[in-house]
Structure 1
Amino acid sequence: MSWDKETKAFGYYLKIERSLSENSILAYGQDIHKLADFMEKNFPEISPKEVQLYHLRQFVKVLAELSISEFSQARIISGIKAFFKFMMYEDKISENPSLLLEAPKLTRTLPDTLSYSEIEQLFEAIPLGEPEGHRNRAILEMLYSSGLRVSELTNLKISHYYEDIGFLRILGKGNKERLVPIGKSAAKYLAIYLKEVRAHQVIAAGHEDYVFLNRRGKKLSRVMVFLIIKKAVEKAGLGKKVSPHTFRHSFATHLVEGGADLRAVQEMLGHESITTTEIYTHLDRDYLRQVLNEFLPGKA
């Protein structure tokens, strides 16, 4: 039983039975390849079905010694646990060696967000007079007003936009669908892009239904979205790191700060668990503590 064979079988299982995205499958595969490389180097006689908790703990010890972040360690361990669950599911092993494998305790950090004024600065930094201006403005507006993940934005289809009711049908993680409202400003710039820009493009075969296209008429890439944001940040002079996810965090933060129901925010973000969404309830308290520390040192 080779590591390569079992890793491929695991990937097939994640795709067919778990319906995970290509990015998630790739990440899981990379985690198992790390373990396989370690085992083949240090315990070459041990096959995947013979791995014990001792071997896994030695692997985790090496990860820590390599100064890999706690977050990355936890993600790799999560991948390993998923792999051995798969091995159990397929009756390839009778005991799961990863059951007692502990991940490092993570310090829960609040996500970076943008203020309302910073959001406006970024919007205004998009030059509407340039060929891709209205497309880029629509992209930033939608990332913020609907809290989309970058992959959800690039995979968005025209047939999934219900303009009459102002909703988007989003295919999220694990191919789970959800309906997300689109803000008035985002809908305005999306309409301009679709009717006045995209309608005049030559569209590549197979890309007719994708909303956002590049100059060649093909679906916009994730990398291009990052570059669009980077350029806007530089032009706005914000002096901070901003990613597509920053817009998503800002969307959720502003909703919670405005008094939105947490379950509604969970639904719009597509979070499987409410505990993931609950991180945004701590933002106001942390801001108050920051103010208290600033004006009353040592009193908080």
Structure 2
Amino acid sequence: MRKVFALLSVLFLVLGLNVGAAYASLPDASENQEKPIVVCTTTVLGSTVQELAGENVEVTVFVQPGICPAFYDIKPGDLYSLEKAAVVFYHGFEYKMWLKGMLESTGSKAAAVKISGNWNTPEGAKNYVNQIAAALKEHVGLDVSAKAAEMISEIDKVAGEIKSEAEALGVSEVNIICMEWQKPFVSWVGFNVVASYGPPETLPAGKAAELASKAKAESVKLIIDNLQSGTGFGASLSSEVGAVHVVLTNFPGAIPGTESLPKLLKYNAERLFKAVEQAKYAEDLRGQISSLEGQLTLFEVATIILAAVVVIEGVVLYARKR
């Protein structure tokens, strides 16, 4: 009898261990939970959410970075994401254009969070980081304050580097004309903005001639375009007035190396600084050409005078011989 009890005890022990091992091998219920879907209208918002929240959320971005949000075409997959989303981040300008209709048509219960203002300056970028971090905590339950602090520190570092380079190049003495959506950043860097222009398709007749006249009068060195607004207008204007054409981007990810707000700021600044160096080189080259032309003119004058002297001396000698 004792042997039977002993065998039963061993059997139950083995079964218990096996059940425990099997239970332990089952995936945690939390691992099977779907990640909250966060919808962002642009890569400005999407890249910031991704950097702050990482793998804790599933980010869907509606507008591709290379185009203006006004030209966004609604896709069925975006409607599905909106229907399932926990939160939707938007700027404000796109709400009446298409976002409001999408929210109404899907019956989405997502919290719609407006993050407005400029993002292409260091202060604007930090404002976006702080607002998005607060919204993620409120609506998704994610505390990303540590990551937000890292991002803000990185933005401050990039801003310091940009300002140092700008001062070294003396950009405050460089007159420029730019697309108005790049004006906040260009002004922050320190350039002297003498004029700006809106989207090319909205410009009135005669605006190009007005800007060309202004550029020549103010010795404008750079014409700065916004990639997402088109680059043809700035290219034509810069060619007409002899300025350097620069194309900046307003949305992360449109160009390699601009995947986040800090990288976007750095990229745009580098484009501007290279353009300043080009403008200075071109100006020096024109000065050298002008100097050579002046020397050539003097040489031509001297040659004419010398020829005249020779002729006169010849006439005098001829007269004496007679």
- Whether the TM-score (by the shorter chain) exceeds 0.5 is no
Higher fraction of helix: 2
Q: TM-score range by the shorter chain?
A: under 0.3
TM-score by length of 1: 0.27
TM-score by length of 2: 0.25
Structure of higher RCO (CA pairs closer than 8 Å, 6+ residues apart): 1
Determine which structure has more spread, i.e. the larger CA radius of gyration: 2
Higher fraction of strand: 2
